[in-house]
C-alpha cells in the first residue's frame, strides 16, 4: 500500500499536527463504542528502543500461539505498516518471508476510516477540536484489532505517555518503559525527571510495570539515579503491581560474520537478527515481561527472538558492498549506531570509511548527533547531505554547514534536494569502488529511500 492510497480524510488530518491531550481521544473512542475496552494490551513507552521491544514481544507472543495486534509509528515505506496482526506461529513464519504479512488492507482502512470520520465530524460539530492524524489512526486501530479478535495488542506510544492518545487503558496486561533520554523537550519538559514522568504516565493501578535498568541507558551518569527515582515514585503513586527494573548482559554479545548477534539472558543463549549490544537490553526486557506476566516457555521465547525483524535500525541491507540503514535521530541513537558499526558482522566495519547519506529533522539535536559521530570515530569517505520528504526536514545546506563546522572543514558534503537521487548516486559510486554506504539521520529518510536502495542493489552483480 502506498502513501497515495491512504484515505484522504486521514492524510488531510496531518495538518492538525501533534496536539497532546486525552479529551479528544476519549470522546472519539466513546462515539465508536469504546472498542479499546475489549482489548488486552501491553503498553510501551520510552525514548529509544520502543520499536525493538514491540518487535521482540510481538514475535514471541505469536510464536507462543497468540493472535497479536501491533500498533507502531511512524511507518517507513507503507502507511499500512502501522497496523498489523500476526496470527500465531504460522503468521510469524509468513512475516519472516514477507514483510507485508498481516498489515491492514486497503479495504479495511477505507471502511474504518469512514467510521472514524463520521465520529470526528460529530465531535467538531459540537465544538471539539479536530482529532489529530495520530488520534484518528489510533481509534481506527482499536476498531480493527477488535474486529480481528486479537488475543493481545502490543501498543507503542506516539509521543511521551501521560497525554499520548494511546493512554486510554485502565487495565493493561503490563506497562513497559524502554531507555529514556533527552528528546521532544519542547513538549515533554527540559529535565530528565519531567521527561521520565511523562513516559511513566502509562503506569496503571494493579498493572505490572517493567523498565530498562537506568544503569544501562546511554545517558550521563548524573541522570541515571534521577530516572530510577522518578520511576519508583510514579509506580508507587499509581499503585502498580510492582516495578521491575530489567538488567541485561550486553557484554555477552557475540557478532557472527553472517550478521547475527548471540547473547545471554537469564542463563540462556539467544540469537537475534537485530544488531548492537543495546539490543541485548531490549530483548531481555521483552523476555522478562513475557516470562513474568504470561509464563511463556524460554524455548518459545528463543524461537520468537530469533524470528524478530525490525527494518531500518542498523539494518544490513546488503553485505558486499555493504549498505547499512539506521533511522537513529538523537544523540543516544548516534552513540548506539557508532558502537554497533564496530561490532556487527564480527567487527568487519570497525575501521571502514563509509559513504554517508544523511538527512535529519531540523527540530532534533543535529549538531550533537554529528559531534557524536565524530567523537566515536566516523571518518566518512564522502557525505551527501539531503532533504527528507518531510516539512520538518533540515535544509541540506544547513546540514552541510553543521557537518563542516563539526569536522573543521575536513569534509565538504555534497547537497541533494532529492534523497532518492542521493542514494542512487551513492550506489553508482560504491558499485565502482566498493566503499560501504551508510544511510542515517531519520526514520523518515530510511522510509523514503529504502525501496530505492533495494531495487538498485538487487541489480548489482
Task: Identify the structural domains of the chain with CATH numbers, from first to last.
Answer: 3-307 (3.40.1190.10), 315-458 (3.90.190.20)
For residue 47, give the nearest of 373, 364, 266 by alpha carbon. Answer: 364
Q: Are strands 67-71 and 261-265 parallel, antiparallel or unpaired?
A: unpaired
pLDDT-derived band of residue 186, with 50, 70 and 90 as boundaries? confident
* Higher-confidence position of 75 and 388: 388
pLDDT at 79 over 70: yes
For residue 31, give the nearest of 93, 101, 123, 138 by alpha carbon. Answer: 123
pLDDT-derived band of residue 2, with 50, 70 and 90 as boundaries? very low
pLDDT-derived band of residue 19, with 50, 70 and 90 as boundaries? confident
pTM of the model: 0.90
Stretch 79-96: mean pLDDT, rounded?
96
pLDDT at 70 over 60: yes
Q: What is d(CA 303, CA 111) in angstroms, rounded to the nearest whole number?
A: 36
- Mean pLDDT, the chain, integer: 94
Stretch 103-132: mean pLDDT, rounded?
96
Stretch 144-163: mean pLDDT, rounded?
96
Q: What is d(CA 449, CA 419) in angstroms, rounded to the nearest whole number?
A: 7
Per DSSP, the residues of 359-426 read --BTTS-HHHHHHHHHHTT---SEEEEE--SSTTBPPHHHHHHHHHHHTTTS--PEEES-HHHHHHHH
pLDDT at 4 over 50: no
- In this predicted structure, what is the pLDDT of residue 157? 97
Amino acid at each position: 500500500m502506498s502513501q497515495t492510497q491512504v484515505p484522504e480524510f486521514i492524510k488531510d488530518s496531518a495538518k492538525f499536527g501533534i496536539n497532546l491531550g486525552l479529551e479528544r481521544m476519549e470522546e472519539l473512542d466513546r462515539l465508536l463504542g469504546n472498542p479499546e475496552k475489549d482489548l488486552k494490551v501491553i503498553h510501551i513507552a520510552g525514548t529509544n528502543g520502543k520499536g525493538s521491544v514491540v518487535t521482540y514481544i510481538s514475535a514471541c507472543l505469536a510464536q507462543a500461539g497468540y493472535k497479536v495486534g501491533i500498533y507502531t509509528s511512524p511507518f517507513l515505506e507503507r502507511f499500512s505498516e502501522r497496523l498489523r496482526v500476526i496470527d500465531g506461529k504460522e503468521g510469524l513464519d509468513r512475516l519472516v518471508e514477507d514483510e507485508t504479512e498481516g498489515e491492514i488492507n486497503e479495504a479495511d482502512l477505507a471502511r474504518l476510516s469512514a467510521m472514524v470520520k463520521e465520529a470526528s465530524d460529530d465531535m467538531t460539530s459540537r465544538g471539539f477540536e479536530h482529532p489529530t492524524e495520530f488520534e484518528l489512526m489510533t481509534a481506527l486501530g482499536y476498531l480493527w484489532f477488535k474486529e480481528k479478535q486479537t488475543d493481545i495488542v502490543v501498543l507503542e506510544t506516539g509521543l511521551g505517555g501521560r497525554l499520548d492518545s494511546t493512554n486510554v487503558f485502565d487495565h493493561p496486561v503490563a506497562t513497559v518503559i524502554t531507555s529514556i533520554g533527552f528528546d521532544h523537550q519542547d513538549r515533554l519538559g527540559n529535565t530528565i525527571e519531567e521527561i521520565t514522568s511523562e513516559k511513566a504516565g502509562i503506569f496503571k493501578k494493579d498493572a505490572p510495570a517493567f523498565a530498562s535498568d537506568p544503569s544501562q541507558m546511554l545517558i550521563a551518569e548524573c541522570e541515571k539515579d534521577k530516572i530510577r527515582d522518578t520511576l519508583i515514585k510514579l509506580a508507587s503513586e499509581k499503585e502498580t503491581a510492582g516495578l521491575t527494573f530489567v538488567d541485561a548482559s550486553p557484554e555477552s554479545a557475540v557478532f557472527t560474520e553472517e550478521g547475527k548477534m548471540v547473547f545471554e539472558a537469564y542463563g540462556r543463549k539467544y540469537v537475534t537478527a537485530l544488531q548492537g549490544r543495546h539490543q541485548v537490553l531490549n530483548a531481555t526486557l521483552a523476555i522478562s515481561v513475557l516470562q513474568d506476566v504470561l509464563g511463556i516457555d524460554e524455548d518459545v521465547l528463543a524461537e520468537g527472538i530469533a524470528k524478530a525483524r525490525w527494518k531500518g535500525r542498523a539494518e544490513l541491507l546488503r553485505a558486499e558492498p555493504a549498505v547499512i540503514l539506521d533511522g537513529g535521530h538523537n544523540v543516544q541513537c548516534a552513540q548506539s549506531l557508532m558502537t554497533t558499526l564496530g561490532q556487527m558482522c564480527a567487527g568487519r566495519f570497525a575501521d571502514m570509511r563509509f559513504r554517508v547519506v544523511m538527512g535529519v529533522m531540523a527540530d532534533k539535536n543535529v549538531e550533537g548527533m554529528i559531534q557524536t559521530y565524530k567523537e566515536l570515530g566516523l571518518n566518512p569517505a564522502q557525505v551527501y547531505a539531503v532533504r527528507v520528504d518531510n516539512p520538518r526536514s533540515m535544509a541540506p545546506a544547513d546540514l552541510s554547514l553543521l557537518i563542516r563546522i563539526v569536522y573543521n572543514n575536513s569534509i565538504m558534503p555534497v547537497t541533494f534536494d532529492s534523497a532518492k537521487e542521493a542514494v542512487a548516486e551513492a550506489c553508482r559510486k560504491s558499485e565502482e569502488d566498493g566503499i560501504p554506504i551508510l544511510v542515517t539521520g531519520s526514520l523518515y529518510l530510511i522510509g523514503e529511500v529504502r525501496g530505492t536502495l533495494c531495487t538498485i542493489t538487487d541489480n548489482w552483480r
